[in-house]
Structure 1
């Protein structure tokens, strides 16, 4: 399942309750596009904001609606005990894999992160994807830690930041990881602005925020990355520079995608739980214009 497009849809809310009617429409959009996998309750899907019951409900609903498309679910939490309980809940819901980032309030060290993955993978019956998201977790994986963690039972993929692929550093990073990691471990790229370059460099899959709402657009960029030159793939991505700028101004793509879902009629106006808020003012107006101009699909 760790290939191609892994789409990260939002988890829509209405009056602080998960809006499963809207969620069904969002997942239906992904199944129609035949994405390679769906990450239910990823970071875009707000896993840290869901209690265990909500997480289980989202995972189960996604599995039921996804048909033969594999479903992965985020299980991160501050305490290892709660991560283990989350893992049990989503496995019972029928997911094909889990996504785990080392969440913290007090910054974690390498030993603590290794211990987290060691204890969680030992209890899993499905594959695990290691999620590196320094901007959210304040933790950066060293190559050495990746090498150790990916030796653990059930680790099948890693999700690395895309920023290094803005330059040749991304190619170097990918080559180093290929040398260090077991052959069966897939390497996926995130951060949509840089992900086309990452795919052109040889990453196995794209973990995409944009793809959670506009899968066909991301699928087209993946095809360009695989069949055209690196410069052509990056040119295809650069068409969406104003979208990437909105992502940057709003601390990631979640608020942008939640607002886009509202504009397109998938959800109600404010479809994310407080204190999170959708785009307003100039940013919302720009997004509305971009949705008309770019013909995202």
Structure 2
């Protein structure tokens, strides 16, 4: 399941609770597009703002609505004890895989992070994806650390935070990481603006925020890259540069939630406080971008 497009949908949530109906509608869009896998409760899925009971409920909804498409869920938490509890919940609920980032209030050492993955993999019976996301976890994986963790049982993929934008530099980055991990462990790129470059450089998967809302567009780019039609994949990604720019300016979570509201899939407010929605000026700009993308031949059936 750690190949192709793994779509990470938003979990619409505000101070009154989770909008379950809207969340299921988002999952149904992914099913209709036939994505390769679904990443429930990723960073865009607001896992960090939900308690254990809420996370289990969202996972159950995702699995039920996924119609057999594999569902991966985050088990990240501050304490190893809580990670192990979430691991148990995920396995009992029927998740196909788990996603783990080493998050902590106190800065973690390499040995503390390795110990976390070692303890979790002992209790697993399903695959694990290592979530390398220094922007939120503030832990920077070395290739040596990736190599050590990748040798643990059940570790099946690494979700890297992006690649160099220059093609040859990206290929060099992937080759370097590939040299220190087992052949069965795939490399998946996140950071949507880097995705096509990463896929063209040899990443097997795209762990996608935009794919969680607009799966058709992202699945098309993924298939083009997988089929070696690299120039067309690059061209389509370039057309999405206005969205990538907003992601970098405001964070992908705010942009995706605003886009889902603009498209009428979810209602406002859809983010947990203290996170504020996209400001009005940026929202109007996003509305124009979506309208323009919908009018292009390449994305006419993908946006909206």
TM-score class, shorter-chain normalisation, is over 0.9
Provide the residue aligned with 1:131 in structure 2.
131
Alignment of 1:7-22 (within 5 A): 7-22=7-22
Provide the residue aligned with 1:275 in structure 2.
274
Alignment of 1:107-122 (within 5 A): 107-122=107-122
Between the aligned partners of 1:39 and 1:189, the Cα distance in structure 2 is 13
Provide the residue aligned with 1:24 in structure 2.
24
Larger mean CA deviation between 140-149 and 220-229 belongs to: 220-229
Instruction: Tell me, yes or no, if the aligned pair for 1:201 and 1:230 is still in contact at 8 Å.
Output: no
Provide the residue aligned with 1:204 in structure 2.
204
Provide the residue aligned with 1:240 in structure 2.
240
Is 1:183–2:183 an aligned residue pair? yes
Deviations 1:57-80, CA, capped at 9 Å, x for gaps: 011111111011000001101111
Please state how far the C-alpha of 1:224 moved relative to its aligned partner.
2.4
Provide the residue aligned with 1:94 in structure 2.
94
Q: Name the SS of the counterpart of 1:130 in structure 2.
A: strand
Instruction: Tell me, yes or no, if the aligned pair for 1:73 and 1:97 is still in contact at 8 Å.
Output: yes
TM-score (norm 1): 0.96
Is 1:294–2:293 an aligned residue pair? yes
Provide the residue aligned with 1:48 in structure 2.
48
Provide the residue aligned with 1:79 in structure 2.
79
Give the direction of change, closer, same or farther, for the CA distance of 1:167–1:16 in structure 2 (3 Å limit).
farther
Give the direction of change, closer, same or farther, for the CA distance of 1:34–1:242 in structure 2 (3 Å limit).
same
Instruction: Tell me, yes or no, if the aligned pair for 1:270 and 1:277 is still in contact at 8 Å.
Output: no
Instruction: Tell me, yes or no, if the aligned pair for 2:167 and 2:197 is still in contact at 8 Å.
Output: no
Is 1:66–2:66 an aligned residue pair? yes
Between the aligned partners of 2:47 and 2:206, the Cα distance in structure 1 is 19
Between the aligned partners of 1:45 and 1:242, the Cα distance in structure 2 is 23
Instruction: Tell me, yes or no, if the aligned pair for 2:98 and 2:127 is still in contact at 8 Å.
Output: yes
Provide the residue aligned with 2:262 in structure 1.
263
Please state how far the C-alpha of 1:165 moved relative to its aligned partner.
4.0
Deviations 1:205-251, CA, capped at 9 Å, x for gaps: 1000000000000011112223345444322211111100100111x
Unpaired stretches in structure 1, ≥5 consecutive residues: none
Instruction: Tell me, yes or no, if the aligned pair for 2:163 and 2:198 is still in contact at 8 Å.
Output: no
Q: Name the SS of the counterpart of 2:255 in structure 1.
A: helix
Is 1:150–2:150 an aligned residue pair? yes
Between the aligned partners of 1:230 and 1:23, the Cα distance in structure 2 is 33
Deviations 1:149-185, CA, capped at 9 Å, x for gaps: 0000110100011142445332112101222111111
Give the direction of change, closer, same or farther, for the CA distance of 1:170–1:122 in structure 2 (3 Å limit).
same
Between the aligned partners of 1:230 and 1:39, the Cα distance in structure 2 is 25
Aligned residues: 296
Q: Name the SS of the counterpart of 1:180 in structure 2.
A: coil
Q: Name the SS of the counterpart of 1:129 in structure 2.
A: strand
Provide the residue aligned with 1:284 in structure 2.
283
Instruction: Tell me, yes or no, if the aligned pair for 2:257 and 2:271 is still in contact at 8 Å.
Output: yes
Between the aligned partners of 1:27 and 1:50, the Cα distance in structure 2 is 18
